[in-house]
Amino acid sequence: MVEIKEAPASTNIDLMQDFKDIVSSSNQDLIQENANVDGKSPCGQMNKFAGESAKFYAKQNMLRPEARQAMEDNYIHIHDLDYMPTGTATCCQIPLGKLLKKGFNTGHGHMRSPQSIMSAMALAAIVFQSNQNQQHGGQSFQAFDYDLAPYVKKSYEKRLHKLQQYQLPLDQKELEKLAWNETDQECYQACEAFIHNLNSLHSRSGGQVPFTSINYGTDTSREGRLIIKNLLLATQSGLGKGETPIFPIQIFKMKKGVNFYKGDPNHDLYQLALETTAKRLFPNFSFIDAPFNLAYYEEGNPDSEVAYMGCRTRIMANRHGEENSVGRGNISFTSINLVKIALTTSTMEAFMQKLEDYAEIVIRQLYERYLFQTNKLVNNFTFLHGEGVWTGSDELNSGDRLEKVLKQGSLSVGFIGLAECLKVLIGKHHGESEQAQELGEEIVSFLRKKCDEASECYDLNYSLIATPAEGLSGRFTKQDQKDFGRIEGVTDRDYYTNSFHIPVYYPIRAVEKIKREAVYHPYTNAGHITYIEVDGDISKNVKAIDTLVKTMAESGIGYGSINHPVDRCKSCGYTGMIDNECPACGITDERQFDRIRRITGYLVGTMDKWNTAKASEEHDRVRHV
């Protein structure tokens, strides 16, 4: 058991120093903890003032001594601690189709059901913006193509009816063809407007654009295919000056018999997705046929298709309702510092015991946070629950508590630094050694077992997430460096490796990286991702991306992504790979180049918003192809 001692209380002096750093914008790691937020803007600063104050309150008033001590001792990190006093949940897969069909109220008036694809896409963006203000994490549409296909049909029917009124010298088939062509054009414009909106609409007091994801790729209807095609084409076109859109995070769902093989009805759209990824980094790819995803799949039921969110979040299992992603999400999550546990134990037996102790602290802390969240009322979240975004919330009254709804969400235990942990324990990480790979699987499977046991004990959906550490990747490391110094391969960099990933600096073949990381995907049922770094102008080698995606599929990856340089010259608008000189206009001024890179799972339009740890990690990344 962890010995509980009197934990040192945070002081007003610490809080005042944070405030000074916010005012002066002198602490990059503080003000740019999240690269999607402009921490130097007035609203960004105000939100940071509020966030640091809320963290102070939560630490002093909402945590048990064991959890507070574990945080201060650098063993755990409670994600979104600043939102704990508000009782918000982390994220949600929004049932877009339901909201569009019945209409919804944003708090300033009722939006009726749209009658065209243009209106439906506009309302989809408004749904994202309205929802973002009532939770602290990301949000997603689980079946974007299926949800919007009915409104493509409405547009087609309106256009066909209008053409028929003109009494043109055309037969019915010619009129239908013309109506479909016009609908195709409208669909493209709607997709283009949707993407522009999601990169310009602000939420959270103007501090950031909504953190959004969309899943698509399996609707084989004519209407659904038009959505997929035009969404990809609009993404390829970019924003107003050719910029790569950083939102929404796009996830193309792969399924054998639907889009995987030549001859599959949507295989042509998969090829278009590969071309779009090569140019714009999105879409990422999810794999319905991975055994842990296929277990939920029902042919002909789009709700049963796995949906991911952002940089990895996944929810499917449900002890209290239907087992799918729709209208559900993660409630909260807390991560364990595997490296410190390894650094403070001398035997494997001691390591596993300490890991168990801190896993149990995290499980109890998540439960106590859950109890606070479930005591909130429907009218605290007028859109999220008042409009029925979460499954079951539309059956509640405005003054009802949220337990019935939130118990369908997930409570997630996360972890960071498996690679560095293994270096401490046996001198090699899992990219270097089979022994390390076996030990890594033993550690991660043990954490999954603790989550499964907690699910039985509390009758809640506890799950294991491969933590998407951004600010955390440096925060854990910085404190451990103070305590243990710089240890080669462990604390000698500015960051710890995310979750179960093989270190970004370690040279390994793409196929080998995929196979080694695939082992961990079945255990991390709350979310996972595998990245592959490729070099050069990948748009000239789409076949390479196809090979990587197919290798992920056959290796049992649940969710994967391809990283490569995407640069833009602000002087002439050239988009592609730029070294030190724009190949189009010859300019060499670095200030004229936007360098789009993936930070954890989302894109950032300029790297000057990255914290120092993630900037260091990006610098260390080696190419796998």
pLDDT in tens, 88-123: 999 999 999 999 999 999 987 899 999 999 999 999
Q: How far apart are CA 518 and CA 526, in angstroms?
A: 15
Lowest mean pLDDT segment, chosen from 146-160, 476-490, 551-565, 608-622: 608-622
Residue 303 pLDDT > 60: yes
Supply the pLDDT for residue 607: 58
CB 175 within 8 A of CB 164: yes
Lowest mean pLDDT segment, chosen from 244-248, 256-260, 536-540, 589-593: 536-540
| CA-angle at 86, arms to 407 and 51, nearest 5° | 130
Q: How far apart are CA 24 and CA 551, in angstroms?
A: 48
* CATH T-level topology, domain 69-90+329-513: Anaerobic Ribonucleotide-triphosphate Reductase Large Chain (3.20.70)
pLDDT in tens, 493-503: 999 999 999 99
Tokens of 112: 């009726």
279 — pLDDT class (breaks 50, 70, 90): very high
> How many residues are there in the chain?
625
Global model pTM greater than 0.85: yes
Cα–chain center distance at 424: 30
Supply the pLDDT for residue 105: 93
Supply the pLDDT for residue 7: 42
Phi/psi class of residue 37: alpha, beta or left (left: φ > 0; alpha: ψ in -120 to 50)?
A: beta
**Averaged pLDDT score across all residues of the chain:** 91
Supply the pLDDT for residue 10: 46
DSSP 381: S
| 38-62 average pLDDT score | 79
609 — pLDDT class (breaks 50, 70, 90): low
CA distances in angstroms from 624 to 43, 150, 508, 513, 616, listed in the order given: 40, 42, 6, 8, 18
Supply the pLDDT for residue 603: 73
- Greater confidence (5 vs 310) lies with 310
List where CATH 3.20.70.20 sits in the chain. 69-90+329-513, 92-309
pLDDT in tens, 454-493: 999 999 999 999 998 767 778 899 999 999 999 999 999 9
Share of the chain above pLDDT 90, in %: 75
Q: If DSSP codes are grouped into helix, strand and coil, which group holds residue 501?
A: coil
Supply the pLDDT for residue 622: 83
Residue 9 pLDDT > 90: no
| 62-72 average pLDDT score | 96
Q: How far apart are CA 73 and CA 6, in angstroms?
A: 12
pLDDT in tens, 261-276: 999 999 999 999 999 9
CA distances in angstroms from 81 to 54, 71, 240, listed in the order given: 8, 11, 37
337 — pLDDT class (breaks 50, 70, 90): very high
Query: Closest Cα to residue 556, out of 259, 310, 288?
Result: 288
Residue 38 pLDDT > 70: no
CATH number of 92-309: 3.20.70.20
Amino acid at 27: N
